[in-house]
Amino acid sequence: MQVFDMIIDGLPVKAESTFDVINPASGQAFARVQAGGPAHVDQAVAAARAAFPGWSRTSDKHRQDLLHALGVALEEEMPALMELVTKESGKPLGGLNGIGAGMEVGGAIAWTHVTADLELPVEVIQDNDEARIEVHRKPLGVVASITPWNWPLMIAIWHVIPALRAGNTVVIKPSGLTPTATIRFVELANRILPPGVLNIVTGESGVGSAIARHPDINKIVFTGSTPTGKNIMQNAAGNLKRLTLELGGNDAGIVLPDVDPKVVAPKLFGVGFHNNGQTCACLKRLYVHDSIYEELVGELARIARDTIVGDGLVEGTQLGPVQNKTQMDFVHELVEDARANGARILSGGKARAGNGYFYEPTVIADAKDGMRVVDEEQFGPVLPVIRYSDIDEVIARANANENGLGGSIWSNDRTKAAALALQLECGTAWVNEHGAIQPDAPFGGVKQSGLGVEFGRYGLEEYTSIQTLKIMKN
């Protein structure tokens, strides 16, 4: 079985013990990684701190060249990275609507190149006879990245590349459930970057909180659940770390009565169920107008029953297993709660017998606000569909949730839909789409879904502090 080491200061590092990484399609271990601890965090932060002066003074052009070289190295390694992503996360190589490991690695490559090309221009606020005032963007120092298990490689890239582009050095801690593709990425990067610029520490016990508390880390970028994000925020207060927190979502989609249910159903199914619903900005609550409700839920359930669920390494698989058993059991608990409270389970509603954590795609009709599956983020292959008849009332119901990541309106009247979308309390609102992101448009949550944004210039600026320079002219 392949054993993966940590990488600190450009060198492989072992801990006293290792732990298993499970393939959720089989329930069996396929790799082992080092069980690092707080002492490894200290070592990695010291290496990143030592590398910071050199890296932050490197010219923009040189940093951009090295990051493009990293993008090329990722591309050369694409098939092997895809296999690691599928084995650790369960997502299929291809996947529903092409959303799978190929998209994850391809997206990682695209994000690397686009982010490498971003600029941080000096802004001139005033330039007259009295004075010139310039605003400069300077790197923060050591940035720590903590990532979740749902899109492990892609999210690592979202954190690491802008941090490096802006001139910071980085320590990354991947989820213990899905560390292998990220370790491979850091190995590749360390063939290109100077030692200490990008370090990786694996291990669960105390590693995350040691990072959050560390006095020599200047910023944490975290993607994961809202409770963990709040815990990190508390622990980070000691030295006033900057924070970007991309947290949970419970995105609502609202379907207006003017759409054709047959046309819209496959799109809605795709945005709700890709990666088994284990994407922060998946559609997680669907509000459908009374006049088309039965036809649309029927269509969604038919698509769910036709979906090919299986091992993601097998060609043609659309949905793989749920990433871990705890998550699958949680999802089933929500489905059973809905069933007990009078909802109709139109498809799925149960795990598959046999090995692996396979759960049948589940469409729930007659779901209501107040049911756990509607109010809580299910993060699994389950979509509750809720009936409405008044548009103002449904906007209020969609907004009556503590999360605020994304939301969508589905209609043939784009002008009306866009006006309604702007009433949704969320970081990104889509019309006739949901969850679609791109490397040049900012993305982030409001309310309990997070702090700050990622991507594009706005995202890059979060890895900098402002220095104002005033030059007197007399």
Q: Does 428 bind ligand NAD (CB under 6 A)?
A: no
Closest Cα partner for 155 from 448, 443, 425?
Answer: 443
Active site residue 426: no
The minimum distance between CB 354 and ligand NAD, in angstroms, equals 25
Residues near 96 by Cβ (< 8 Å), separated by ≥ 6? 270, 273, 274, 307, 318, 319
The minimum distance between CB 60 and ligand NAD, in angstroms, equals 27
Q: Does 89 bind ligand NAD (CB under 6 A)?
A: no
Binding mask 330-359 for ligand NAD (x = CB under 6 A): ------------------------------
Cβ-contact 164, 114 below 8 angstroms: no
Among 77, 88, 104, 280, the active-site one is: 280
The minimum distance between CB 220 and ligand NAD, in angstroms, equals 8
Among the residues of 35-176, which ranges form H helices? 38-57, 60-76, 78-89, 101-116, 152-165
Cβ-contact 300, 288 below 8 angstroms: no
Among the residues of 117-175, which ranges form H helices? 152-165
Nearer to ligand NAD, 160 or 301 (CB): 160
Cβ-contact 37, 202 below 8 angstroms: no
Nearer to ligand NAD, 232 or 335 (CB): 232
Residues near 178 by Cβ (< 8 Å), separated by ≥ 6? 21, 88, 89, 149, 152, 323
Nearer to ligand NAD, 104 or 366 (CB): 104
Stretch that binds ligand NAD, among 61-69, 207-215, 417-425, 428-436 (CB under 6 A): 207-215
One of 225, 341, 355, 432 touching ligand NAD (CB under 6 A): 225
Active site residue 299: no
Nearer to ligand NAD, 245 or 417 (CB): 245
Binding mask 376-415 for ligand NAD (x = CB under 6 A): -x-x-------------------------x----------
Closest Cα partner for 321 from 277, 370, 372, 265?
Answer: 277
Q: Does 247 bind ligand NAD (CB under 6 A)?
A: yes
Q: What does each C-alpha distance from 78 to 75, 228, 318, 412 come to in angstroms?
A: 5, 31, 20, 39
One of 187, 204, 336, 369 touching ligand NAD (CB under 6 A): 204
Residues for the chain: how many in total?
Answer: 474
Contacts with ligand NAD, residue ranges (CB under 6 A): 146-150, 173, 175-176, 204, 208-209, 212, 223-225, 228, 231-232, 246-249, 280, 377, 379, 405, 445, 449-450
Residues with catalytic annotation?
Answer: 246, 280
